[in-house]
Every structure is written in structure tokens, then in C-alpha cells.
Structure 1
Amino acid sequence: MTASADHDSRMLTALVRLHDALQAAPLPLDVPGAAELRVTRQQLIDQLEDYVLPRQMTVEAPLLAVVGGSTGAGKSTLVNSLVGRRVTNPGLLRPTTRSAVLVHHPDDAHWFGQDRLLPDLVRVQEHSDDRHALQLVASETLPPGLAILDAPDVDSVEKANRTLAAQLLAAADLWLFVTSAARYSDQVPWEHLKQAAERSTAVAVVLDRTPPDAVRTVAAHLARMLASRGLKDSPLFTVPESTVSPEGLLDGSAVAEVRAWLVSLAEDTDARSAVVRQTLDGTVRAHAREAHVVADAVSEQVAAAAELRRAAETAYDEATRRAVAAATDGTLLRGEVAARWREFAGTGELLRSLEGRVGLIRDRLVNAVKGTGQQADRVAVAIESAVELMVLDHAEQASATATAAWQELGTAGPLLTGTDDDLGRASRGLRRSVEGEVRAWQQHLTELVKADGADRRTARYLAYGARGLAVTLAVTVLADSAADDPGGADVGRTLLDAVFGTESTTTLVAQGRADLERRIAGLFAAERRRHLGRLDALALDPDADRHVRDAARRVDDRRFEQSRRDDASLA
């Protein structure tokens, strides 16, 4: 492998890495300036795919001259005239050109396959209005080593045409900019010419459709404009206004100078290579520079995502804390729960539902406690409803708070739209999830009292008394131990102490409380994931900015090596 080939291979590897790093560095959040930088990033990716990588792999491929310019400048007529036959459709209706037409010598056909230049454009052999198509036209009137591509108007009234024109111009080794006396000062084409100058793209200008008496004046002014915009070395050709033949061609003499210049480039291998290298190197240099701008934008995206994450986590952390506190501070032992508990514990049946004697405490409470199994179920249902409403209320607050914080930050627009799931409200399935968790918790309490009572009472006692004891344990868990008598829960605690002993009761209450807190925290964790899941779906890699910068530096390193090699060869 020669030194040049080895460098080209290493440059290709560096460019592929830059492409991949840019692909892995999206800019989804509405950070200030992100809209413009998204365009920049996508343009870098597109041009790497459309031009830089294919050209780097095939530097020896024919020179591609893309003919572009303003509406009505005569681009298609110029292309037909340069080729010597009608290969693209000019016309009075605007916009005329819709799909791309690439003309090449038959021997060069293999250079323009689907896997080469502009790979996302489907190759076709016939005229097409499909903007995703690239019509290939073989013509022996063009010399080998030269291809001419007719592009849509850069200032077309149709956005799709403008987009395609920009894509094609970005794939040019040489931009043949066509304008006229009436359009040469238009702003849009000059914006493209500015980009060409910044990237050192080879540019030639054709002043077309200009009255003979105005050619000298307009050409002089146009030359000054080119020089002031960094394009003073760009060749300037004039094509005087003349009659177009029925076949859509100008007289050969009108385009002879332009054609001769293009043919000379095609036939001179060194000159052609110099143009290709100039444009390719300038584009690569610009890409490496612009990649750092994208990297900075990625850093801002990561910082914005972290800020959004903190806002959501703060909202849900606070809601979880409040919900857990409300579940165990006696707040829920009010209203329906308190009423059902008093019915159950205050009628005297609570102890009667448990077979056997429970010591002196039964003697003191037997006349006051007359609850039934059905009443125990009512208490359980009331507890379930109270916990459900409490969790839903705190979840609604958390969702609203997190969403409001995101809206205030102003960067989460894409996260808050495009879905039927309203992040400002609790999830639609939360109510059912709470029901399931509370029922599972109460079942767990039943298992706890069964397990702890196995050595204390007969199996028959446990079969009949576990439900009542589990409800009593549930009320005790919900009570604030620091309160004097939260909702009459002291009766339940007294009974549990009598049945299981003070130490075991304390353990049971702690276990029941820990399980309830765990389940509530789990419910809020699921709700939290609705917000955080939107962030995670962005797939923002915190190291993406570093990867882009590293890849850009590698490209610059390869360019520096190329420069040293070229200097050494000239020495």
C-alpha cells in the first residue's frame, strides 16, 4: 500500500467515526438555538453520506459538476447545450426541474451505482418527477472523467425542490453556478455561494441570458461581488442571450468556452484531481470545525436533560415522602375508615370473632367489642379506598408539579407532545394499581398474623381470627404512634399486645408499615418513570459530546498528516 493510499484509508476511518459520533449525538430538546443546530448536524451527516465518504473511497472517480442556481436562469438549457442533446427538461412553467439528472460518459457508468455518490437517491433510466430519484443518462458527447448533474432551483417555490438542490450542491466537486442579469444579485443563491466559499468548494459562475450590451457591466459587477465574498479565483463565463432551438439547445458557440474549460479539466488528470482534492479537503476541514459546534450543543442538551431529570425527581421525591407520611401518621383514620373501625371494634364482636380466651383484656373489652367478619371486610374496603384516594391525590400533584417545572424550564417541548399520555395527570391505570397493592398489603398482614400466631393459638383459632387480627393490624399501622388515640386505634393496639405480646406486636406493626411504605414508593416510582422514561427515550449519551470532539480531532490529525505529506512531496 502506498503512503497516499494508507493515508486515504486512515482518513476514511476517521470520517466514518465522525459520522457515527454525529449520528449518536441527537439534539432533541428545545435548548436555545437547537433548531438551527439540528439542521447543521443533519447537513453534516447527510454530506458525509452523500459526498465525503463516497468521494474519499473513490478519489479517482469522475469530476462531478453540479449545475445550480436561481429560478429561470437557464440551467437545464445550459446542461442540454453542454451535452449537445436534450437530456433534461427546460420549460416556461416553474419549477421545471423536479428530480436530479446526471449525465456521464458510458465508460463511467460504474462510478454512479446505488452504493456510490448520493446513495439515498434511487437510480432510474427514464425521466422522473420523483425527487428521490436520480436519472442516469449516458452520453458519449461528454468526455470520460466528467459528469454533469442538473439540480432544481435553489430558490424554488417548492421546499422539497430547495432541499434537493441543497443536497445535490453539497455533493458537488465543482459547482457551476448559473445566474442571469435579472437574478445575479438574488440573496438565496449567494447564501449557497457563501457556504461554498467557507468550505473551499470549487465554483465556476456562468452569467446566462444576458443582453449583449449589458454583458460587460453585469459581469464586472458580478466579479466584484464574487471577490468580496471570497470567490475571486472562481472562473466567470458569460453566455449571451440567444435563440433556443426546438430541441432546447443554445448554439454551440454560446457555450463553447464553458464546455472547453470542463473538458480540459476532465482530460487533465492532475487538474481534475486538484479540483476534487480542493473541494474534498475544504469540506472535511469545515466538517471538523462544525462538529465542535455540534459537540457544544450536545453538552447543552445533556445539561438540559439533567435539569429536567432533577425537576421531575424532586417533584416525585416530595410526593412520595408526603404519601408515605400520610399513610402512617393517622391521616387516613378519619371519615369512612374511622366510622367502619368504630363499628367493628366498638360493638364488642372484635374479640368474640376470635375463639378462646385472650386473658384479662378480653374480660375488660368483651362487652364493648361485638364486631363481625362482615364488618371487618367493611373496614378493609374503607382502608383500601382511603389509601387509593390519598395516593391518587399525591400522584396528581406530583405529575402537575413535574410537568409545570418542565414547562417553565422551556426545553421539554418535544417530551410533552406527540402522545395521548398526559404527563400533567396521574396515569390512567394508577387507580387499579393502587387497589391491587393495597389488597396485596392487607393479604400480607393476614399472612403475618397467621405466621406469628401459629405458636400461640390453635389452627382453628387462626382460621377464624386472622381476618379480624389483620384488620386490627392494618388500623394500627395507619395510626400515628405519637398521637393519643388516632381514630380509636389504641383499642386495636391493646388487643394485639394481648394476643401477641408487646414485643411481637411492635415487630408486626413495623413489618406491616415497611411493606405499605414499600408498595407506595413502588407506585410512585412507576409514576415517576412516565416522566423519566421520556428523557431516557431520548438516548442522550452524556459522553456523546466528547466522542464528537475526539472524532473531529482525529479528522484534523489526518488532514495535518496529509498536509505534511504533500509538503514533503513538493520539497
Structure 2
Amino acid sequence: MSSLLLSVRDVPLVLDAEGAGRARSIKSDVVDQLSDYILPRLVQLDAPLLAVVGGSTGAGKSTLVNSIVGERVTESGVLRPTTRSPVLVHHPDDAEWFQPDRILPDLPRTSETGNGTYALRLASTTRIPQGLAILDAPDVDSIDKGNRELAAQLLAAADLWLFVTSAARYADQVPWDYLRQAAERSTSVAVVLDRTSDEALIEVRGHLARMMTSRGLSDSPLFTVPESGLDTDGLLPPESVAPMVGWLHELAADPVARQMVVHRTLDGAVRHLVLRAHDVADAMDAQVELAETLFGTADDAYREALDSITRQTADGTLLRGDVLATWQEFVGTGELLSSVEEKVSRIRDRFVGGLTGKRTRSTEIVDAIETSVRVLLVEHAEATAETVARTWGTSPAGRGLVDGAAGLDRASSDFRIRAERAVHDWRQGVIELVRVEGADKRMTAKFLAFGVNGIAVALMVTMLSRATASDEAGAAAIGRKLLDAIFGAAEVDALVARAHDDLVTRAASLLETEVARFHQLLEAPASLRAHQTALREAARKAEYSRHADFLNGEVTS
């Protein structure tokens, strides 16, 4: 059962998929009942029988509890101080069973009479027998939402319900919704018809009994408490509650009967929760489907962005503007050099600039290339973020995620800096590639003419235009001609491919960081499926345990 609690508690239902609201409510109910009742009861089967007294507003629950106990332990009245402080009455010798680490562990304890906010007030008295505890719960139809939720929580933690109604309220829908849930869970229930006049007693009791039968509660005891005056302590005449008191005392005195009640309720609770756990697992299908759609939208958009960057860094797109102008200024705009060796000194002079430390032509070209690549990366990151955010915003679930993450429709605030660093590192990588591959060619005239930086520039220009149909006719062809003369055509092809692959890899890394901003807003589909599988497996084991252990009259956690 502990694994079921952990599995259902860990289930993420953050997406506003179809049925998500109901699934969250079921999840909360399952977690509460496992925490408040099933697990505490499993580890202390010998604990006193907990009878929770619940019902409608004005049904007389508190008066009934006081009358059953035989003294004032809880305050009556619609606006009584204990409206938000349910009272648990037990024998002094049973006090240890109701410590905070046991039943209802999340509910604060208090021994003070007062209007503590949703605190459980413990009251001990020798008028109640050992083996029995009675808990006065808030009204199930209270106008206060917190009271209604607390009432539901307490009833779910009961071994036995004492459900109190009256001639005026017995047909109300809200109480019957609770009784229907009790029947579904096989919870042990006793119904108390309170505040009923002698004239209406027979008719109302008969109608109520038929309603109980039609709703699966034919085996539940039905007690009637006739309308009567109260004594000076606000208690009903002892004879009015004598049948109920006798029945409760017999349960407390009979360990076998008490265990039968506990086992019936516990077995029904586990069976019902197993079914509800499967309902939660089924609801996760919609979560998985929606997560796949959202993840797929983001992944596809950033994959398309990378594909576009890959194309545009090889099809000549970037070999325009400043890059092209600077390159043409360097190599000249006339006819293609027919003999590189004839022009060695001329080209060397253009690269070196004549003076050490001066800005060279190669530096100008590299700067222009870096700027163009960086701008390309930033433009794609910005456009893709806007596209994904807009697409996600077309569904309620996606819109909720986008609205909760400021700036998601733009690239990361530090993207430009990271892009600049990535492009600069790529440039250094190209230079290092030329340095390593040209190590055995450094004494040739052509290599000496251009140097490592000059050849690296030629390699970058060649890479940016390698998919251009007019390669051999454009200014970029000069770079290829120079590279072929130094390295050979086959080796140049390999160098160009390696330089481009390196740039694409760095771009992919940048975009992976960007798409991760969307990914981190929700669980990955694979993770959701793992949660779903774990929940179903835990529910299956809980059901197996129920069959194996309950049939033998034993329970294990």
C-alpha cells in the first residue's frame, strides 16, 4: 500500500487535458484516504474502532454525540466554537492510539476547547468504553468549504459511519451522495434518524429504510431518535439513545465483531482506491497525448530552425553584404587567378597589411563572417521561440504553461552572448583545423603567402558557398582554388565538411538549450508513461495484496 501512495502522489497532472480536473480530485482523495486511514489502520489493526458522526446541518450531531457519551464533550449550535474543530472522544487508556503520527496524521491536535482552525480536539472520558472512539465531524453540507472538505476527510478516515439525518433533511441529495460513496466502498454504516416526531416516525422511517435498500445499504442498522426535550446539560433522555449506545458498547466489548467492522471497511476502501487509482492512470493517457503534442511542436520547430541554419551556412546566403564585399576587395573582382604562385607576394601583402599589429584583411573578413553567422543564429532563435509560444498558446494547456513563464516567446536573455561565444569558438576551431592539417605544408610558397589565418578565411568562405550552384563562377571560387592548390581537392572537401559540421554542432547545442526552456515546463511523455506504468503496477499489487491477505483475515502494508 505504501508503494501505491507514493505512486499516486507522484503522478503529474499539471496539463489541462480533458478530464484533468476530475483526475486531480480523484488523486487527492486517494492520497488522503491512504494517508489518513488505510496506512495508519494497517499498521495498528488493534486500535480502537473509530466511529465518525456525520450528517447535515441541523441534524443534531453534537447533541447526539454528547448524549451517547453521557456528558458534554462537544458544543452544539450552528455557530458553535467547535465548528472548525472536530472533537474525537476516547477512553483515557486509548489516548496513545490518536497521537499525531497515527490516524489523521496531517490534522493538528489540540486539547483546548475553542475555535481552532481545523484542529482535531481530543477529549478523553471514562464514560466511553475502551476500544471505541467517537468523532464529531463538521456538517457535510456546511456553507463553509473548509468544513465540507474536512467532513469528507474525516468520514474517509472512519471505520464506521454514524450518519445522522432528520425527518426534515433525510431526502437531501448531499447526504445521499456520501452514503452512496459509503456503499461503493463497503464502508460500515449505521444511519440515525434524529429529531423525528412520533406522528411522522413510522412513515419517515419506512421511507428512509426503502431508500437505504435501493442504495445498497440494506444491511446497515437504522436507529431512530424521537424528538424530545433536553436536560439541563443539553442531553437527550438516556432511553432515546439506549439502543444505539448498547450497540456501540457491544462492538467495543467484542474484539471479533470490532475486527469484522474494521476489515470490512478496510477491504472496501482498498478495493475502491485500487479502482480509482486505475482511473487516475487512465486519465494520464490524455496527459501523455497532450505532452507528446507540445513536445513535438517545440522539437519540430527547433529542428526546422537547425535545418535552416545548416542550409544557410552552406548555400551562399551568408556570402553577401559585408562578407562578400570584404572578400572581393581582398581577392579582386577581375578574372580568376590562373596561377596562384604568380600572385603570392601580391596576395600576401593584402593579408599582412605590411605592418605587424595592424588590422589585416583576413581579420576584417573573419569579423564579417562571425557577425553574419551570429545574426543568423539569433534570428532563428527569436523566430522559433515566438512560433512555439504562439502554437502552444492555441490550446488551454499550452496557454497556461506559456502564460506562467515570462519571456518564453523570445530567445533567452543571454542567447546573443552565448551565440557570440559559440561562433568565436568555431572560428578558433577552424584556425586550429588548418594549423593541424597544414603542418606538413607550411614551407610551401602558397601556405607561406596566406598563413594559417588567411587559409582559414578561405576555408570559411568556401564552406559558406559550397552548395551554391555557381561555385566556380563566383568570387568564392578563388578561395576554393587556393585551397585546392595547397591541400588537394579531396582533402579540401573533408576540411570544409569538418568545419561545417563543427558549426552545426555548436548551433544545435545552442538550440537545445532554447528548446529545453519549453521542455522544463512539463514532464516528458516518456516520464509520464513511466509514472502511469508505476501507478498501474502499484494498484495491481495492492489488489493482489487485498485478495491474498484479506481472505485470510490478515492485512499487510
Q: How does 1:389-428 map to 2 (within 5 A)?
A: 389-408=375-394, 411-412=397-398, 415-422=401-408, 424-428=409-413
* Contact 2:348/2:450 (<8 A) preserved: no
For the structure 1 residues 499 and 105, does the alpha-carbon distance in structure 2 shift closer, same or farther, using more than 3 Å as the test?
Answer: same
Aligned partner of 1:436 among 421, 424, 431: 421
CA change 1:367–1:387 in 2 (3 A) is closer
Is 1:136–2:118 an aligned residue pair?
no
What are the equivalent positions in structure 2 for 1:276-425 lying under 5 Å apart?
Answer: 276-346=262-332, 359-362=341-344, 373-408=359-394, 411-412=397-398, 415-422=401-408, 424-425=409-410
Distance 1:493 1:563, change over 3 A: closer
- 1:329 Cα deviation after fit: 1.0
What is the identity, as a one-letter code, of the residue corresponding to 2:429? H
- 1:114-513 aligned within 5 A: 114-127=100-113, 129-244=115-230, 247-346=233-332, 359-362=341-344, 373-408=359-394, 411-412=397-398, 415-422=401-408, 424-457=409-442, 465-485=451-471, 488-513=475-500
Aligned partners of 1:176 and 1:203 also within 8 Å: yes
Deviates more, 1:228-237 or 1:543-552: 543-552
Contact 2:192–2:223 at 8 Å: present in 1 too? Answer: yes
1:458 deviates by: 6.2
What is the CA-CA distance between 1:238 and the residue it aligns to? Answer: 2.5
Which runs of structure 2 are paired with 1:43-58 in the superposition (5 Å)?
Answer: 43-58=29-44
Structure 2 letter corresponding to 1:215:
L
Unmatched tracts of structure 1, length 5 or more: 1-14, 352-356, 567-571
SS where residue 529 of structure 1 aligns?
helix
**Whole-angstrom distance in 2 between the partners of 1:365 and 1:558:** 85
Question: 2: CA distance between counterparts of 1:362 and 1:493?
Answer: 16
1:66 deviation in Å?
0.5
Residue pair 2:51, 2:160 contacting (<8 A) in 1 also? yes
Does the C-alpha gap of structure 1 residues 518 and 560 become closer, same or farther in structure 2, counting only changes over 3 Å?
A: closer
- When structure 1 is superposed on structure 2, of 192-201 and 373-382 the one drifting more is 373-382
- What secondary structure sits across from 1:178 in the alignment? strand
Q: Check whether the contact 1:211–1:240 (CA below 8 A) recurs between aligned residues.
A: yes
Letter aligned with residue 200 of structure 1: S
Give the partner amino acid of 2:310: V
> Structure 1 residues 378, 361: closer, same or farther in 2, change over 3 A?
closer
Structure-1-length-normalised TM-score:
0.85
CA distance in 2, matches of 1:380, 1:94: 82
Indicate the RMSD between aligned Cα atoms, in angstroms: 3.3
Alpha-carbon distance change, 214 to 406 in structure 1, aligned in 2, over 3 angstroms = same
CA distance in 2, matches of 1:363, 1:61: 100
Instruction: Give the alignment partner of residue 520 of structure 1, picking from 507, 511, 534.
Output: 507
**1:523, distance to aligned residue in structure 2 (A):** 1.5
Secondary structure class of the residue paired with 1:152: coil
Distance 1:365 1:377 in 2: 14
Shift of residue 115 of structure 1?
A: 2.2
Q: Deviations over 1:433-487 (max 9, x none)?
A: 1111111111222222333444434699879943333333322221134332587
CA distance 1:483–1:363, change in 2 (3 Å): farther
SS in structure 1 opposite 2:529? coil
Question: Take 1:463 and 1:368, find their aligned partners in 2: how far apart are those partners?
Answer: 10
Give 1:358 shift.
5.9
Count how many residue pairs are aligned between Structure 1 and Structure 2: 544
Q: Once the 2 structures are TM-superposed, how far is the Cα of residue 413 of structure 1 from its aligned partner?
A: 5.4
Q: Amino acid of the residue matched to residue 190 of structure 1?
A: W
SS of the aligned residue for 1:237 comes to strand
Distance 1:340 1:81 in 2: 100
Structure 1 residues 78 and 499, CA gap change in structure 2 (3 angstroms)? same
Which one is further off, 131-140 or 359-368?
Answer: 359-368
1:552 counterpart = 2:539: yes
Report the CA distance between 1:68 and its aligned residue. Answer: 1.0
Task: Check conservation: 1:240, 1:254, Cα contact below 8 A.
Answer: yes
User: For the Cα contact (< 8 Å) 1:100–1:131, is it kept in 2?
Assistant: no
Cα deviation 1:518-540 (Å, max 9, x = unaligned): 11122122222222333447883
Letter of the structure 2 residue corresponding to residue 443 of structure 1: Q
Task: Find the counterpart in structure 2 of residue 3 from structure 1.
Answer: none
Asked whether the 8 Å contact 1:334–1:487 carries over to 2, the reply is no
Task: Check if 1:83 corresponds to 2:69.
Answer: yes
Cα drift, residue 120 of structure 1: 1.3
Distance 1:236 1:463 in 2: 107
Mapped contact 2:351–2:454 kept (Cα < 8 A): no
Aligned residue identity for 1:70: S
Checking the alignment, whether the CA contact within 8 Å between 1:154 and 1:166 is kept in structure 2 is yes
Distance, in Å, in 2 between the alignment partners of 1:521 and 1:210 is 77
- Structure 2 CA distance for partners of 1:561 and 1:444, relative to 1, 3 Å: closer
Question: Which residue pairs with 1:65 in the alignment?
Answer: 51
Q: Cα gap change, 1:278/1:17 in structure 2, threshold over 3 Å: closer, same or farther? A: same
Whether the 8 Å contact between 2:347 and 2:449 is mirrored in structure 1 is: no
Q: 1:391, 1:561 → 2: CA distance?
A: 62
Kindly indicate whether the alpha-carbon contact (under 8 Å) linking 1:154 and 1:161 is maintained by their aligned counterparts in 2.
yes
> 2:519 pairs with 520, 527, 532, which one?
532
Measure, in 2, the Cα distance between the counterparts of 1:20 and 1:539.
Answer: 19
CA shift, 1:515, in A, is 1.2
- TM-fit CA distance, 1:409: 6.1
Other structure's SS at 1:97 match: helix
Alpha carbons 1:395, 1:527 under 8 Å: kept: yes
Change (3 A) 1:96 1:183: farther
Q: Does the residue aligned with 1:542 lie in a helix, a strand or coil?
A: helix
Task: Encode CA deviations 1:78-110: one digit per residue, 9 max, x unaligned.
Answer: 222222222223224279520222110011112
Using the TM superposition, name which of 370-379 and 393-402 deviates more. 370-379
Cα distance in 2 for partners of 1:562, 1:555 equals 10
The alpha-carbon distance between structure 1 residues 421 and 142, as it changes in their structure 2 partners (threshold 3 A), is: farther
Matched, 1:104 2:90: yes
| 369 and 565 in structure 1: CA distance in 2 versus 1, 3 angstrom threshold | closer
For 2:99 and 2:36, locate their aligned partners in 1 and report how far apart those are by CA, in whole Å. 13
Q: CA 1:502–1:128 in structure 2 vs 1: closer, same or farther (change >3 Å)?
A: farther
Q: Aligned equivalents of 1:267 and 1:204: distance in 2?
A: 18
TM-score between both structures, scaled by the size of structure 2: 0.87
Distance, in Å, in 2 between the alignment partners of 1:497 and 1:95 is 94
Cα distance, 1:562–1:493 mapped onto 2, change above 3 Å: closer
Query: Any conservation in 1 of the 2:18–2:286 contact (CA below 8 Å)?
Result: no
Alpha-carbon spacing, 1:463–1:142, altered in 2? closer, same or farther (3 Å): farther
